[in-house]
Amino acid sequence: VTIHDQQLHRGEGGELHQFAEDGHDTLTTAQGAPLADDQNTLRVGARGPALIDDFHFREKIFHFDHERIPERVVHARGYGAHGFFETYEPLSDITRADIFQRAGEKTPVFVRFSTVAGNKGSFDLARDVRGFAVKLYTKEGNWDLVGNNIPVFFIQDPIKFPDVVHAAKQEPDRAFPQAQTAHDTFWDFISLTPESMHMVMWIMSDRTIPRSFRFMEGFGVHTFRFVNADDKSTFVKFHWKPKLGLQSVAWNEAVKINGADPDYHRRDLWQSIQSGNFPEWELCVQLFDQDFADNFDFDILDPTKIIPEEILPVRPIGRLVLDRMPDNFFAETEQVAFMTQNVPPGIDFSNDPLLQGRNFSYLDTQLKRLGGPNFTHLPINAPKCPFHNFQQDGHMAMRNPVGRVNYQPNSFGEGPRESPTRGFRHFPSDEQGPKVRLRPESFADHYSQARQFYISQTPPEQRHIAMALTFELSKVETLVIRERMISHLLNIDETLATTVAQKLGLQSMPAPADAAMPTRQDLEPSPALSIVER
Ligand code: HEM
């Protein structure tokens, strides 16, 4: 039964509504009243004023007037598909997650790919990070792996998220650029945020102009935990590897494609799935223990760092296949609500501060975006396993407790009960320390992995990074921001810094940046802050 059948055509008993004279279903109001004329409003005479008893017109225009909901505050432009996840082998020694207990088990999934900065109506081939959000409807609750196609992030602390997003999106006075990082406020923030340098290398690479969603990797970014039945924890990083491999377009191709077909990535996914050419990814994990974490060169809680696959190889544990497009874009792709906090028993969080901030943010934003606390009742968000609780009422409640009792414990023997053995138990990590606002020293190296990434690229890929930086910074009108960026590049690769500086026509090279966070004094407007003559 499709959503179309459920919502538009089927009556209570599953019978079709009565038919119109030509054999189609009869057009009705939302109340089910059959309609005779949907072409003309009710008027006094053919040329007279409209009448307030035209309930048909009022209902139709009222509903149209309320069609829009807020777009996502980030990742507004996206495209989704249904499919399944197939588990390769039982992982019961490392996790009690039900999805990983049986080889060959198939779990339904919904995936939404997105750009980050652009508005809902922006173009597909913007130079941008791509979201790779996966909802797995497991038998013990939904697991949302809300990832990106880049394995690191701009910031280390969630308190900076509003700032990085404000800086990346359109500037508030002029409301442009709508989907470009190439502007002053973005590079101003970046140049004042040394921790973003590793991410900057990735976003200036070909990774941010993918050929199609089908040729992208996905990353959970943060360190998570697998927890087994004995409450033993193993750290885990999640990676999606596309069966088709990685492909990108060149920047000049991206610019042309955006003009000719702003829906390029949507069309590609639609056409490949509709023609039976189902895209596939492997879910791979990097597994490690506390001992590895203690001896690794970087802090495994720092979301601006990766664990190189040369040091810790990935292990494939299952495959994801996308084989069905949604029946309705709005009902499914727009209303789907992914949340990092949606984890089933056996999967848990690490103390990555960014992950902990995300766990607060998604529920909060969806309460607003989807109009109240009952968005989990929407078919795309509801679990596909049985679920029972005493939550009730609120706007649009469609699943209220049945019977007299809506609390527990109760003496009436009614309603669901906790299950100490099967239920979710948070990993009992031992935490202590003073209450502080302090960045750990172990998060301080902002350049080494940026350099490693740049060096790992082939010469043509390195050229593309230099060209991307040159293009982006050439759109920055405030000279001091360009210079500040060059001073960071000097800490990453001297040849790269010099190449970009020369192409930008910089008069002299600045000193390498001090890796520390900017002080108040650094941020005072200085006489050096000049605007490029147009
Ligand atoms: C979407 C917050 C970092 C991946 C969103 C949304 C918010 C948000 C508010 C909109 C959700 C909605 O309206 O349904 C944050 C915060 C972050 C953060 C506060 C850091 C502090 C990240 C990171 C990743 C990521 C590191 C990748 C690992 C995504 C994706 C979506 C999204 C894929 C779109 C989900 C969809 O397709 O509906 N984020 N985010 N975010 N975020 Fe984040």
- When pLDDT is cut at 50, 70 and 90, the band that residue 397 belongs to is very high
pLDDT of residue 5: 47
Q: What is the pLDDT at residue 518?
A: 52
- Position 441 scores a pLDDT of 96
Sign of the alpha-carbon dihedral angle for 89, 90, 93, 97: positive
Task: Please indicate whether residue 108, judged by its CB atom, sits closer than 6 Å to ligand 1.
Answer: no
479 CA distance to ligand 1 middle (Å): 32
| Ligand 1 lined by 56 (C-beta under 6 Å) | no
Report residue 504: phi and psi, to 5°.
-80, -10
| Helical residues (DSSP H) of 184-250, grouped into ranges | 184-191, 197-203
- Whole-number Å distance, alpha carbon 74 to ligand 1 midpoint, is 7
Residue-by-residue DSSP string for 66-81: T---PPPSSS-SEEEE
Local confidence band at 15 (pLDDT 50, 70, 90 cut-offs): low
Identify the pLDDT of residue 68: 97
pLDDT digits (tens, 9 = 90+) for 360-382: 999 999 999 999 999 999 999 99
To the nearest 5 percent, what fractions of the chain are helix, strand and coil?
30, 15, 55
**185-194 average pLDDT score:** 98
Task: Band the pLDDT of 519: cuts 50, 70, 90.
Answer: very low
Cite the annotated binding site for heme by residue number.
Answer: 72, 112, 161, 358, 362, 369
Residue 223 near ligand 1, beta carbon < 6 Å? no
CA-based torsion, 336, 113, 203, 482: positive or negative: negative
As a whole number, mean pLDDT of residues 13-37 equals 84
CB 340 within 8 A of CB 355: yes
Q: Known catalytic residue: 406?
A: no
> What does the pLDDT look like over 76-116, one tens digit per residue?
999 999 999 999 999 999 999 999 999 999 999 999 999 99
What band does 440 get if pLDDT is binned at 50, 70 and 90?
very high
Check if 148 is active-site.
Answer: yes
**pLDDT digits over 280-335, tens only?**
999 999 999 999 999 999 999 999 999 999 999 999 999 999 999 999 999 999 99
Q: Using the predicted structure, report yes or no on whether residue 2 has a pLDDT greater than 50.
A: no
Neighbours of 370 (CB within 10 A): 20
HEC secondary structure over 432-487: CCCCCCCCCHHHCCCCHHHHHHHHHCCHHHHHHHHHHHHHHHHCCCEHHHHHHHHH
**Contact indicator for 117, 72 with CB cutoff of 8 Å:** no
Against a cut of 0.90, is the pTM above it? Answer: yes
160 lines ligand 1 (CB under 6 A): no
Report the C-alpha dihedral over residues 388, 392, 398, 400, rounded to 10 degrees. Answer: 60
The number of helices, as runs of H, and strands, as runs of E, in the chain is: 14, 10
Q: Give me the chain's average pLDDT, please.
A: 94
pLDDT band with cut points at 50, 70 and 90 for residue 10: low
**Of the candidates 239, 255, 211, 229, which has an alpha carbon nearest to the alpha carbon of residue 315?**
239
For 217-266, the pLDDT digits (tens) are: 999 999 999 999 999 999 999 999 999 999 999 999 999 999 999 999 99
Q: Output the pLDDT for position 532.
A: 39
